[in-house]
Amino acid sequence: MSESRWAGEPPAAFGLLGDLDGAPVNDLLGEMVHTTQGQSFLEWRRYRIAAELESQLVDDGAVSDYRVIDATALCATRIATVLSISQMAAEGLLAGAVALRDRLPQVALCLRDGQVSPQHVRTIVSRTELVTDPQIAAIVDREIADCLRRRGSWSTTRLRDMVDRVVYTHDPDGVRERRRAATDARSFWTENDADGMGVVGASMTAENTLLLAQRVHAAAEHVCANDPRTKAARRSDALLALTTGIPWACLCDDPDCTAPDGWDATPSWPATTAVIHVVTDTTTATAKVEHGGQPGFLPGYGVISADHIRDLVHRPDTVIRPVPTTAPAAQPGDPYRPSAALARFLWMRDQYCVWPGCNQPATRCDADHVEEYDLDHPSQGGQTTADDMNSKCPFHHGVKTFTEFLDDQTVDQNGRPEVAITTPEGLIVGGPAHTGYDLHPELDTIEFTAPPNGPPRPPAPDEPTRRRPRLEDKHARRRQERDRNRRTRGHDRWAREHDDDHQTDPPPF
């Protein structure tokens, strides 16, 4: 490996700040954006080099070469050797380079110009790799690139949904075959893990995955606030209880615990109802297979194909509720609280938390007033309308409410909201570049009546706090775990000392 030519150059040679010590916050954040765009440019350059290597070292006969160590493998081996990466990683890099050169040239230019990150490019390459028709591939490439050049920000899920929407719209036959193959390949497996642990896995349809997850999450919440387990650990235990029928109990060891004790994990326990929502248009839901249709949206999962929509429509437990084109904006007598129709519209429109980069589904977000609601004079503050409300996850809702971060939401010439987040130092970052309007343009036909100027709501709660500091909470969980282990060991020792049969039995015990 030759010596790096980067460290020997002054930062100014790359358009970077010379001295970072004491630089203004906005300059540092701008520098971070600039260096990230530089990473995109260098990744584009690396792909270009890999594609040129492929052009020189792999001829047309490679498509019919049955050898394991063929020209493509040897080309990747050269790359793996000089970069000290695995053969698999090098072959993935080479495949991505060829895809960007031959199938996604416009996306490659977006990478060069810093409009998309290398991580997102890998998502685009993988989710378009089965578009084999050259004409369709050119359309898909152009539409994805046009979306990437929009103003605004991308999270990993919004970009994934955008790519899926484009692919599902232009390649429905390919999507249909791939989904049928994936459904047929659903499976269940277990793996051994380190430290006496094991891993359970299963692949199933997206809607069944969401139904199972909701039931496990709901069951795991049936403990008191002092249960020492993490949420993840409780969910693991709840899944075991739901599938084996073992009793479920809170592990706080508090005699005054408020959680029900010793529930029987039968299929009816605990009393939870799992509901998943799907957004689609009426034409797609009722069309014949040969008539196609537009892709839909499954909150918590993402974009799904028109055929998947129709499969869900024909499930016996499916309930279809048309969305009204006009509805009240607020609950009767409470102008602050959005109506059920408005809340549903917000998560259909926003799909995820509107904060740049956030992937939290809008169904688990708060409906937030962008311009604060005036508690004393409701008619003078922010209104409970679609134009002044958007979806924010609890964390980003708290950031907006209790810190110096600001958000704004304006309506563009097409009547669609544009979100902007302003940092405490005044940097403005665009909100989501892809929303439910891209998937369902018909959403802009829905109108809401203005809320009445009713009485103000009660004062807002104080800034949320933890029950105790993060480190103290961790120590408390450890103490409870140790105490429980000591009691368990003491009980086992007493049982061995008083079990005559056990003492006389030879190993194995």
- Cβ contact 201:189 at 8 Å: yes
pTM: 0.76
**Which DSSP letter does residue 287 get?**
S
pLDDT band at 258 (very low <50, low <70, confident <90, very high): confident
Find the angle CA(366)-CA(368)-CA(373) to the nearest 5 degrees. Answer: 140
Quick check: 141 pLDDT over 60?
Answer: yes
Phi, psi angles (nearest 5°) of residue 270: -75, 170
The pLDDT of residue 504: 43
- Per-residue model confidence as pLDDT tens digits over 409-432: 999 888 889 999 999 999 999 999
**Which DSSP letter does residue 361 get?**
B
Residue 271 CB burial class (10 angstroms; 0-12, 13-18, ≥19):
exposed
The pLDDT of residue 498: 58
Quick check: 155 pLDDT over 80?
Answer: yes
- Cβ contact 441:281 at 8 Å: no
Q: Does the CA dihedral 344-349-352-354 come out positive or negative?
A: negative
Which of 75, 80, 115 has its CA nearest to residue 98?
75
Give the ranges where 116-258 is alpha helix by DSSP (H): 118-128, 134-148, 156-170, 172-184, 206-220, 231-244
- Segment 249-256 shows an average pLDDT of 84
- CB neighbour burial string for 418-438, b if at least 16 within 10 angstroms, e if fewer: bbbbeeeeeeebebbbbbbbb
- Choose between 119 and 172: higher pLDDT: 119
The pLDDT of residue 35: 93
Q: How far apart are CA 161 and CA 297, in angstroms?
A: 9
Quick check: 437 pLDDT over 80?
Answer: yes
Highest-pLDDT range among 262-266, 378-382, 430-434:
430-434
The pLDDT of residue 195: 75
Peptide bond into 424 cis (omega under 30): no
- Amino acid identity of residue 358, one-letter, is C
- Amino acid identity of residue 410, one-letter, is T
- Per-residue model confidence as pLDDT tens digits over 54-102: 999 988 766 666 676 888 899 999 999 999 999 999 999 999 999 999 9
pLDDT band at 118 (very low <50, low <70, confident <90, very high): very high
- Segment 481-488 shows an average pLDDT of 53
Could you tell me which residues come within 8 angstroms of residue 368 by beta carbon, excluding any fewer than 6 positions away?
Answer: 389, 390, 391, 392, 397, 400
Which of 174, 454, 456, 455 has its CA nearest to residue 292?
174
Q: What residues does 328 pair with on adjacent strands?
A: 449
pLDDT band at 267 (very low <50, low <70, confident <90, very high): very low
Highest-pLDDT range among 238-247, 296-305, 314-323:
296-305
Beta strands at 187-192 and 198-203: parallel, antiparallel or unpaired: antiparallel
Which of 437, 332, 453, 344 has its CA nearest to residue 389?
344
- Cβ contact 406:249 at 8 Å: no
- Choose between 251 and 502: higher pLDDT: 251
The pLDDT of residue 505: 43
Q: Which range has the worst mean pLDDT, 5-14, 90-99, 348-357?
A: 5-14
- Segment 242-261 shows an average pLDDT of 80
Q: Which residue has the tokens 């994934």?
A: 160
Q: How far apart are CA 329 and CA 423, in angstroms?
A: 30
- Choose between 34 and 63: higher pLDDT: 34
Quick check: 370 pLDDT over 80?
Answer: yes
Beta strands at 326-328 and 447-449: parallel, antiparallel or unpaired: parallel
The pLDDT of residue 480: 59
Q: How far apart are CA 286 and CA 306, in angstroms?
A: 10
Quick check: 48 pLDDT over 90?
Answer: yes
The pLDDT of residue 491: 58
Quick check: 311 pLDDT over 70?
Answer: yes
Tell me, rounded to whole angstroms, the distance of Cα 433 from its chain centroid: 16
Q: How far apart are CA 36 and CA 209, in angstroms?
A: 35
- Choose between 277 and 358: higher pLDDT: 358
- Choose between 38 and 250: higher pLDDT: 38
Q: State percent of the chain over pLDDT 90.
A: 40
Q: How far apart are CA 172 and CA 186, in angstroms?
A: 21
Quick check: 450 pLDDT over 90?
Answer: no
- Segment 209-220 shows an average pLDDT of 86
The pLDDT of residue 115: 95
Q: Does the CA dihedral 28-29-32-34 come out positive or negative?
A: negative
The pLDDT of residue 353: 95
Quick check: 456 pLDDT over 60?
Answer: no
Q: How far apart are CA 43 and CA 113, in angstroms?
A: 11
Say how many C-beta atoms besides its own lie within 10 A of residue 178's C-beta: 14
Instruction: Please name the helix (run of DSSP H) or strand (run of DSSP E) that holds residue 417, with its range, or none.
Output: strand 417-422
C-alpha atoms less than 13 angstroms from C-alpha of 468 in its C-beta half-sphere: 9
Tell me, rounded to whole angstroms, the distance of Cα 464 from its chain centroid: 25
- Choose between 37 and 8: higher pLDDT: 37
Q: What SS3 class is residue 337?
A: strand
The pLDDT of residue 266: 47
- Segment 110-123 shows an average pLDDT of 95
- Cβ contact 457:334 at 8 Å: yes
- Amino acid identity of residue 405, one-letter, is F
What separation in angstroms does the CA of 93 have from each of 41, 85, 87, 89, 111? 15, 10, 10, 6, 15
Q: How far apart are CA 153 and CA 329, in angstroms?
A: 28
Quick check: 461 pLDDT over 60?
Answer: no
In whole numbers, what is the pLDDT of the chain averaged over residues?
83
- Choose between 253 and 378: higher pLDDT: 253
The pLDDT of residue 478: 47
The pLDDT of residue 257: 85
Tokens of 469: 């500091």
Which of 199, 251, 242 has its CA nearest to residue 219?
242
